Every structure is written in structure tokens, then in C-alpha cells.
Amino acid sequence: MNEASGKLDSSPQPPVLGRPRSATAHQAMVDAAHDIVTKDGPLALTVQAICQAAGTSRASFYRRWSNAWQCFTESVDSFLLPPSMNDPTADTIDILVAATMNFYRYLSLRATKVRLGMILLDASAQPDMLVEAKKDTEARRAKLLKRIGDDVADGRIVVTIHHGVVVNIISGLALHAALMARPLPEKDVRAVLSRLIFPIDATA
Amino acid sequence: MNEASGKLDSSPQPPVLGRPRSATAHQAMVDAAHDIVTKDGPLALTVQAICQAAGTSRASFYRRWSNAWQCFTESVDSFLLPPSMNDPTADTIDILVAATMNFYRYLSLRATKVRLGMILLDASAQPDMLVEAKKDTEARRAKLLKRIGDDVADGRIVVTIHHGVVVNIISGLALHAALMARPLPEKDVRAVLSRLIFPIDATA
């Protein structure tokens, strides 16, 4: 993921016609999908709208994805999982707290609530939405589970409950707080995890 | 709540014309509201439909509630909170496990998902739904919190985390599993609660 994608200010240099067939174009489309859903709602998300906002061609889009939701899904993924996921020295609880807070912020977006509402109503207008929503949820879940499993295997932590239940708890806390429009204090999430996950002090 | 409402078999004796202005009529309307939403979806829930199904008059309905959702809310309440809530000798974890499983079953109903979907989409058609949904959720939450607080005050349990977080965890687990169409094993719920709530053995 290109860190310098610059959602808020995308042009420090003067704009050029078109964009290179590069990571920049890729990230521009992912960012555009995210912005469209956040600002105008999921129904506004079309391949045409994404390409127009990103300044890319439809050919460039279809080289990477087969529909608009696949592209949006990628923005969700980079939005939800904290960068520390890939840092083997990062603290497991810190990673899980960050992932929970990201998930909560994402679910609190009006665009996400509308999307979830449509999924619940079995929105037949956009069946892609259902398939993609399940797929990306499962993929993120698998990544979190892998990280917990790796840290247990490496002798860095002890987890006193099934790893899947840990992920269900933090997903549920984020979902419940967002849907009920309640606050989700980070310290509460950390307190819950600290009752289930115990770091092993390698220096002891 | 009338325990003998008998949703599955409501007439051991032969049916009589009309119903008395009694707990029976009250429960018949509550049951009717529940059946209508479960079978035909929330849009089918009207005062007329409730009265017709329950064999009661509109006057009888409006003596108790001001709209159809208020009546439905009452059915949800008796559906979600386990009867053991009111038994001071019942085990706290057993009560919370039962409440979680009830909530999960309720959320897994198609009618509930549709209702929740409409709430998320800010269904302007039925604003009552939003108000009632929040009110009844808060009321159930308060009852669970009171039970936990009472059991702590009575020296029956120790809770190692803020009581509200315990309720958020079990609500979140039920919500997450139902929305993702995942199973929610009762033993997982019990395992989570047993990491947070510790019974005090009065005989020790």
C-alpha cells in the first residue's frame, strides 16, 4: 500500500494528464472508492465514478478488479488492519486493540452502516456486496488469527481461550458499539484482551 | 409476563368468542405481534393485524400501547431475558449465558435482521422503530447490569472488569455471530464469562 497516497491533498506537484500504470494508479482507485462510499454512499460506487475520481481508464480498472466492490474491499482492508500487523516485534494486544478501534471507526461511518443495512435486507440490487463483504471479513479474520497463532507458537504470549473467540469478542465489541452508537473506550478493549492474553517475558 | 401464554398451543380448552380484558388478551396481542414480525416481516406489523390475530379490539390495544412496535417490544423483552433473571439463587454465569443465547437466536431471525437493516438505513417510514429499539435495548441492558451488580453486592461473585463491558461482550458476541451467520457455541460464551466472573463459594 502506498503510504503517500495523500487522500486530503493529492497534488503537491502540478497535475499531469492521466496517471502511470503503476502503484499510484492502483492506490488512486482504491482511495477514490473509499471516498465515494464515505461521502456519497454505497449506491454511488460505480466503476465509472471510481475512474473519473482517480483519473484512470476503465481498462486500467478492469486489469485489477472485476467490479467496484472488489476495489472498495481493498480500501477497507488497508483501512482496518494496523500496519503493525506485519511487525513481528509488535505487541499482540496492541495490534488487536488497534484493529478493534479501526473496525469500530469503520463501522461507525454512515456509508458502512448503509452497506450493512443493505446486506441485512438482502439487497438484491447489488449481490456483489454480499459476496465481497463476507470474503473480506473472512480474509481479515484469518490474518488476525494467524498473527495470534504465530505469537503463541513463538512463545511470546499465552492465550487462555480459543483464538477464534478472541477475534469474535473484539469484532463483536466494535460491531455492538458502532450499531448502538455507543462509545468504545480503547481502555475497555485493552482490559478485555488483558484478561485473555498474557505476554511471556522472554528476559525472565 | 404470563408464563402460560402457550405460543405453540394456545388453546387446551375450546376457544371462546372474544377474550376477556385480562392478562390473556394482553399476552395474546404480545404473542400476535411476535408471530407477525417473525412470519411476515416488520412491515406487516400494524395495530389492525395484531388485533385481528389476537381477536381483540383496537380499544383494548390502545389501552396498553400507543403503537404496534411498543407491543412487539414487550414480546422481545420476555423472549430475551431468561426467567432465571428473577431467581436470586440462580447462577450469574448461567443467566448471562442464557441471555446471550436468546439474544443470538432472536438476532438470527430473518424478521430481526430486516428490522435491524431498516434501522441502519434510517427507515424514515417507521421512526417509532428506532426509538423503541433503543429504549428496549437499554431497558434489557439495565436489567442485566442490575443482576450482575446485585450478585456482586451480595458477595456471590467477583467480576474482574467493568460490568458494562461484560454486557457489551455478550451482546457483541451474539450480534457478530448472528450477522455473520456463524454458529455461537454456548460453551464459548461460558468460557468467555468464566474468564471475567468468578463465583465465591459461600461454604468455603
Q: Could you read off the pLDDT of A86-107 as tens digits, one per residue?
A: 898 999 999 999 999 989 988 8
Which of A117, A177, A182 lies nearest to residue B121, judging by beta carbons? A117
Is residue A63 situated within a structural domain? yes
Higher-confidence residue of A166 and A40: namely A166
Domain that holds residue A25: 17-72
Q: Could you read off the pLDDT of A160-190 as tens digits, one per residue?
A: 999 999 999 999 999 999 888 889 999 999 9
β-strands A197-199, B157-159 pairing:
unpaired
Is residue A5 situated within a structural domain? no
Whether the per-residue pLDDT at A5 is higher than 50: the answer is no
Q: Mean pLDDT across the stretch A12-34? A: 68
Residue ending a domain, among B48, B72, B96, is B72
Is residue A204 situated within a structural domain? no
The three-class DSSP label of residue B109 is coil
A108 plus A54 within the same structural domain: no
Query: Which residues, other chains included, contact A78 with Cβ-Cβ below 8 Å and sequence gap of 6+?
Result: A1, A30
pLDDT recorded at residue A80: 81
B189: domain CATH number is 1.10.357.10
DSSP B44: G
Is residue B2 situated within a structural domain? no
pLDDT recorded at residue A189: 98
Is residue A36 situated within a structural domain? yes
A49: domain CATH number is 1.10.10.60
CA distance A161 to chain B (A): 7
- What is the secondary structure of B100-144 as a DSSP string? HHHHHHHHHSHHHHHHHHHHHTT-TT-HHHHHHHHHHHHHHHHHH
pLDDT recorded at residue B157: 96
- How many domains is chain B partitioned into structurally? 2
pLDDT recorded at residue B129: 57
Residue ending a domain, among A43, A72, A101, is A72
B193 plus B123 within the same structural domain: yes
B48 plus B146 within the same structural domain: no
- Which range scores top for mean pLDDT: A28-37, A42-51, A56-65, B120-129? A56-65
**Contact criterion met (CB < 8 Å) for B118 and A121:** yes
Is residue A2 situated within a structural domain? no
Q: Could you read off the pLDDT of B84-94 as tens digits, one per residue?
A: 888 989 999 99
A71 Ramachandran zone, left/alpha/beta (phi>0; psi -120 to 50): alpha
Which of B162, B174, B192 lies nearest to residue A165, judging by beta carbons? B192
Q: Could you read off the pLDDT of B162-201 as tens digits, one per residue?
A: 999 999 999 999 999 988 888 999 999 999 999 999 999 8
Q: Mean pLDDT across the stretch B24-33? A: 90
DSSP A89: T
pLDDT recorded at residue B151: 95
